[in-house]
Amino acid sequence: MEPLLLVVCVKEPTRLSPDGDRNRPDLQLVIGSQQILVDVTIRNPTSPTYYECRGGSAEQQLRSTVIAEQQKTAKYSTMAKAQGAKFLPFAVEMYGGMGKSAKQLLQLINKSARDHMLMWPYQQMMQNLKGDIAISIQRGNAIAILAGYQRSVAKSAKVHRGGVAASA
Mean pLDDT lowest among 19-28, 51-60, 121-130: 51-60
Determine the average pLDDT of the residues in 55-78: 87
Count of structural domains, the chain: 1
Asked if residue 33 is part of any domain, the answer here is yes
Helices (H) and strands (E) in the chain, counts: 4, 4
Determine the average pLDDT of the residues in 115-121: 67
Asked if residue 52 is part of any domain, the answer here is yes
DSSP track, 62-124: THHHHHHHHHHHHHHHHHHHHHT-EEEEEEEETTS-B-HHHHHHHHHHHHHHHHTT-SS-HHH
More confident residue, 144 or 72: 72
Asked if residue 146 is part of any domain, the answer here is yes
Determine the average pLDDT of the residues in 12-31: 88
Asked if residue 2 is part of any domain, the answer here is no
* CA–CA–CA angle 71, 75, 78 (5° rounding): 135
pLDDT at 53 over 90: no
More confident residue, 57 or 21: 21
Confidence of residue 1 (pLDDT cuts 50, 70, 90): very low
Asked if residue 168 is part of any domain, the answer here is no
Determine the average pLDDT of the residues in 40-62: 80
Question: What domain range is 138 assigned to?
Answer: 7-160
In the prediction, which pLDDT does 88 show?
97
Mean pLDDT of the residues in the chain: 84
Asked if residue 115 is part of any domain, the answer here is yes
pLDDT at 90 over 70: yes
**Nearest alpha carbon to residue 107 among 5, 26, 24, 34:** 34
pLDDT at 5 over 80: no
DSSP-derived letter for residue 48 is H
Asked if residue 107 is part of any domain, the answer here is yes
Q: What is the pTM of this model?
A: 0.76
**Calculated CA dihedral for residues 23, 27, 32, 33, nearest 10 degrees:** 10
Asked if residue 63 is part of any domain, the answer here is yes
